[in-house]
Structures are given as structure tokens and as C-alpha cells.
Structure 1
Amino acid sequence: MKIKFSFLLLFISIATFAQEFNATVTVNAEQTGRTKLSVFKTLEGAVQDLINQNNWTDKDLESYEKIDCNFFINVSQYSSDSFTATIQVQASRPVYGSTTSTPIFNFKDNQFNFRYTEFQPLDYNPNTYSSNLVSTISFYLYTILGIDGDTFAPMGGENYHQEAKLIVNTAQGRSEGWQPNDGNQSRFRLNADFLSNNFSKYREALYIYHREGLDVMYEDVKAGKQKIVEAIQMLREVNNSRPNSILMRSFFDAKNNEITRIFSGGPKVDLTEVLNDLKRIAPLYNKKWNTIKN
């Protein structure tokens, strides 16, 4: 009986703590005009299993610590095993002391063409390129882990960004999005910027915004808001030296609603300077910034 009980505990531990993500995958094939084909639903399930049923780190996480993420694959053309598509990736992590979560990543990748045969196994091997589908999904998972790590400790996601770089190196020359000349919205550029010394202050701002800002608001809202102001001022400095970067765009694509909400109520802090910063750094969201009353 004792042996059986020990085995049961081991099984529960593995089942409960093994994976790092709570991922939802959606494949939209309306543009192909062939939505009834089973391959699209099979693809959806295969990618979701790849994410949710594999270990991506050596950490054991409680269920509430897992990263929620969404992968939206929009297929515009399909023929045989060839897919022309885009992918939108979103992720969030819990806010300490609350039941809410905060978005940490929101990114659309337009360079996502791949081959997939129905029921093809999807497995990630860090030393081997198997397909653009597996490499792209794995790349974004490690990028999300890197961002999540950066929000909990200064440069805390370094190992994960380095793992994403290994994927970039292995995939180079295989498909679009992995090379230096693939544009400013490529996977190559996203990873290179995260690992560049030019953006170390950006990553420091991620820590201040989340760990010293959001995560303290459960006990001191004003102190948390002041730290978020400080983080935005740091982002202004980064933007002054590297304007319109892929990191800055992805940050405000994820955070514009949250920032508007935080500064639109609760204890007041001086917003004169930070509102000017927001309008300069992220002018795309000026309508939202204009709704914030100082």
C-alpha cells in the first residue's frame, strides 16, 4: 500500500507540475475556402499538444504559475502539405497578490509559411531542425519564457533568449524570418534585439514595470504606479537611441489597454511627463493616451 501511495504521489506530481504553458491554439482556414478539411483541426490539436504536453524548462510550476498563451494561425493558402499563413502570439503572466494577469507579449508574424502532413509528429529537438512549424512555435515559446523571466528578475530570461537564438541559428536559410535581411519584424530581429546591449535597459524596464510596479499594487497602488512611470521613462530613453524598434512596438501592442486603465483611476501620480513620453514612444495609441486625465 505504501508503494502504491508513493507511486500515486509521483504520478500526481508529474501530471500537475511538468508543463509550463496553458496554451490555446486556433487555426483559421476561412481564406482557403476549404474549412471542412480535417487537416486544419488536426494541425490545431498537434500544435497545442506540442506546447502543452512537453517540458520546456527544468522547473516545476504550480498551475497558477503557468503562462497563459494564445496562438492564432491564419491560413490563407493550402495545397497538399504546404501552408501559407500568419501567426499571432499572445501571452500573459499572473500579477502577484491578485487574481488578474498581465499581458507580456503580443506579436504578429507575417512570415510563417510551413509544411505539415496530417498526423505528422511534432517534436522539438534543440540541436536539429525538423520543420519551420516546430521551429517557429518553439522559438516563440522560449521568447515568451525569456520575457516572463525578465519580468521576475533583472535579465532573468537570458537563458531562454539564448535558447531562442539557438533555434534562429539552426533555422537560418530554411525559411523566411530567420535571417538578418528578413526585415525589422522578423524572428531574427526580435531575438537579436532582446540579446543586444542596446536594449538591456528595455529589459530592465520590464522588471521594474512588472515586479516593482504591478506586483506591489496589491498593497500599495500609488507606489506601484510610480514604478510604472519610472519604467516608461526608461523606455523613452531606449526609444531615443533606437526609435521604432520591434521590442517597443510589441510592448505597447500588449500593454496599451493596461497602461490606460492603470493611469485612469486610483491614487494620483504626476503624469505630465509620462503622457508626453507615451505619445512620443507609441503615437499609434494616442487616442487612448488622450483619454488619461492627469
Structure 2
Amino acid sequence: MMRKILATLSLFGLLFAAGSAHAQELLAEVQVTTQNVTITDPTIVTQMQNDIRNFLNTRSWTTQTYRPEERIRLKVFIGITAIPQSGTYNSTMRLISTRPVYGTGYDTNVISINDRSFNFNYSPQAPLDFSPNSFVSNLSSLLGYYAYLVIGIDRDTFSRLGGTPYYETARNIVSYSANQTLTNEVDEGWRGTGSRERHFLLDNITDPQLEAFRTGLYSYYRQGLDLFIEKPDEARASVMAALTGIQKAALTRPSTLFARAFFDAKSDEIANIFRTSQDAQQKQQLVALLTEVDPTNTAKYQTVLK
């Protein structure tokens, strides 16, 4: 597994890995806020926050071995927007995953995702439970879906198309959640009825016509950022190749959610990577490419030329 290159091959490390075959993959920070919503018992929000964090961090999502330093760091921000009835919540969520860069102390944002609307039932007395093959609750389905999505994207950065099995599990969660009739938690986000819903995000990632998104992740991270300290020019060339592929895929399918999530996470970093380049032509090509595929951040990319 490519993440093992980040671990120290000491005797202690080997013994630890051998005894941790089911170590947890995620290390999530969770924040639940209640702006403009009145909750009579604020301890419910605190327990909800703790339950979500423990759900993500203590469960083994795969059969792979993860050492503590290999766990995927995740920030989850949930904003409760309404409480239609006791125990039922309408919310938004923002999720940011990061990845260490080899040979540095730098953690880089991998993906930034906004889920603009979901609803769920929650009771402090009922533990969160989950199955990858059947619906238990909308909150556990949502968290499980994003857990597998984040793990899949992370794997794609370490091996070419390495995230495939995790996207398949996420697809299964979408299918049974869209068709569930067990609870009152009908959530249109599973059904692809909006332009920025989780149904479409997974479609973007797994569409064969948009495979350049996923191969671009490998070029950007494993062949780019991970080599930057030792071979900055080669690393920039790999990042440029990745961005070229992402541009072509984005133009094939305009307004794709994956492209937006990628550039939301990477625009500052891309500008910093190329700002110190001595290749003026490469900088011009970069700015032209990014202005076309990510016009929202054009001013930021223009600083590369200064």
C-alpha cells in the first residue's frame, strides 16, 4: 500500500502494524453548529457532535492496515438549519479531507465538499449504527457514503484508480438510501434531483469519460507533490499534466461537481506551486488553462505571473 512509504520502518513500527490489521482509517474533527435555531437542551448538540466523531473515527471502514500516522484527516462542519419536529433536523455540511506530502510536515487539502441540504433523525439514546448493504438511518448513510468517498479519493492519490472498490460501496449506499421506506427521512440528495447533490458527485468520479479526474489525482499527488522537495521541476510538470487532464474532463462535462470540489480545495496551493517556477511559458500556459476551467479563482491565478 502506497501510504506505507510515509511510515518509519522500525521494529516497533512493524510490530504495531502487525497488531493493528483493523486500525481505523479516519481521524475526523467534527463541529455541529445551530445558528438561527433554538435548541432548549444544548447538551444534545454536544452529544450529537461526539457521536458523529466517534462513528467516523472508531469504525473500520476497510480491511486495510492503517498506522496512526496514515489515518486520513477529515474536518466535518454540520450546520443545523431547522428542527421541523423534536428529533428531526435539517442541515448542511462541509467536509474537507487532507493528505500528508511525502518528506515534509505539510498536509494538503485533497477535496472540499459541500452538501447543501440533508435531513436526519437523531436521539441521544439511540447509538448510530450502519451497514454498507442496508439502510439503518439517513445520518449513518450520509456519513458512511462520505467516509467511503473520502477513502476512495485518498487511495486514488496513492495508486492509479486505487479508489474503485470504495466508490462501489458508496454507490451501494446511494442506491439503498434513495429507495428506503423504513423511516420518514426522505432525502432527495440521494436521487439526483439537484445539480449539486451527492448522487451526481459520485457519478462524476466514476464516469469512464471523466477518468482524467481520477488519474489526475495520482499525477498531482504521487508524481507531483510527493516529489516536489527533491525534484521541483519534474513535480511541476506532473502537476501541469494532471491539471491538463482535469481541464479536458471538465470541458467534456461542464459544471461537474468533482472539478468544483477539487479547485475549491486546491486553488491556493496550485498558485503557490507555480509562483516560484522559473519557466515563464509554463506559467502562462497554467494561467490560461486555469482561467478557462476555474474562472472563479482567476485573480488568484494571475498572481503567478507577477
Please say whether Structure 1 and Structure 2 have the same fold, judged by a TM-score greater than 0.5: yes
Per the TM alignment, residue 33 of structure 1 is displaced from its structure 2 partner at its CA by 3.0
Which residue of structure 1 aligns with residue 71 of structure 2? Answer: 66
Matches within 5 A, 1:165-176: 165-173=171-179, 174-176=186-188
Matches within 5 A, 1:191-210: 191-210=202-221
Partner SS, residue 77 of structure 1: strand
Deviates more, 1:259-268 or 1:123-132: 259-268
Residues 284 and 305, structure 2, Cα contact 8 Å, conserved in 1: no
Measured in 1, the distance between the counterparts of 2:247 and 2:203 equals 20
Which residue of structure 2 aligns with residue 274 of structure 1? Answer: 286
Matches within 5 A, 1:4-83: 13-14=19-20, 18-34=23-39, 37-78=42-83, 79-83=85-89
Which residue of structure 2 aligns with residue 227 of structure 1? Answer: 238
- 1:292 correspondence with 2:304: yes
Residues 222 and 267, structure 1, Cα contact 8 Å, conserved in 2: no
Matches within 5 A, 1:103-142: 103-142=109-148
Per the TM alignment, residue 30 of structure 1 is displaced from its structure 2 partner at its CA by 2.4
Which residue of structure 2 aligns with residue 3 of structure 1? Answer: none
Structure 1 residues 121, 12: closer, same or farther in 2, change over 3 A? farther
Which amino acid in 2 is paired with 1:257? D
- 1:99 correspondence with 2:105: yes
Residues 77 and 85, structure 1, Cα contact 8 Å, conserved in 2: yes
Instruction: State the identity %.
Output: 29
Q: TM-score, with normalisation over the residues of structure 1?
A: 0.92
Which residue of structure 2 aligns with residue 161 of structure 1? Answer: 167
Measured in 1, the distance between the counterparts of 2:178 and 2:56 equals 22
Structure 1 residues 35, 149: closer, same or farther in 2, change over 3 A? farther
5+ long unaligned stretches in structure 2: 1-14, 180-185
Deviates more, 1:36-45 or 1:206-215: 36-45
Structure 1 residues 150, 10: closer, same or farther in 2, change over 3 A? closer
Structure 1 residues 10, 136: closer, same or farther in 2, change over 3 A? same
Residue deviations 1:113-151 (CA, integer Å, cap 9, x gap): 111112321122112201110001110010001101111
Measured in 2, the distance between the counterparts of 1:277 and 1:288 equals 13
5+ long unaligned stretches in structure 1: 1-8
Per the TM alignment, residue 42 of structure 1 is displaced from its structure 2 partner at its CA by 0.6
Which residue of structure 1 aligns with residue 4 of structure 2? Answer: none
Q: What RMSD over aligned residues (CA atoms) do the two structures have, in Å?
A: 1.9
- 1:151 correspondence with 2:163: no
Per the TM alignment, residue 218 of structure 1 is displaced from its structure 2 partner at its CA by 2.0
Q: TM-score, with normalisation over the residues of structure 2?
A: 0.88
Partner SS, residue 97 of structure 1: coil
Residues 96 and 215, structure 1, Cα contact 8 Å, conserved in 2: yes
Deviates more, 1:233-242 or 1:249-258: 233-242
Deviates more, 1:123-132 or 1:83-92: 123-132
Aligned residue pairs total 284
Residues 17 and 62, structure 1, Cα contact 8 Å, conserved in 2: no
Residue deviations 1:241-280 (CA, integer Å, cap 9, x gap): 1111111100000101111111112554622112111001
Q: Which runs of at least 4 in structure 1 moved beyond 4 Å after TM superposition?
A: 9-12
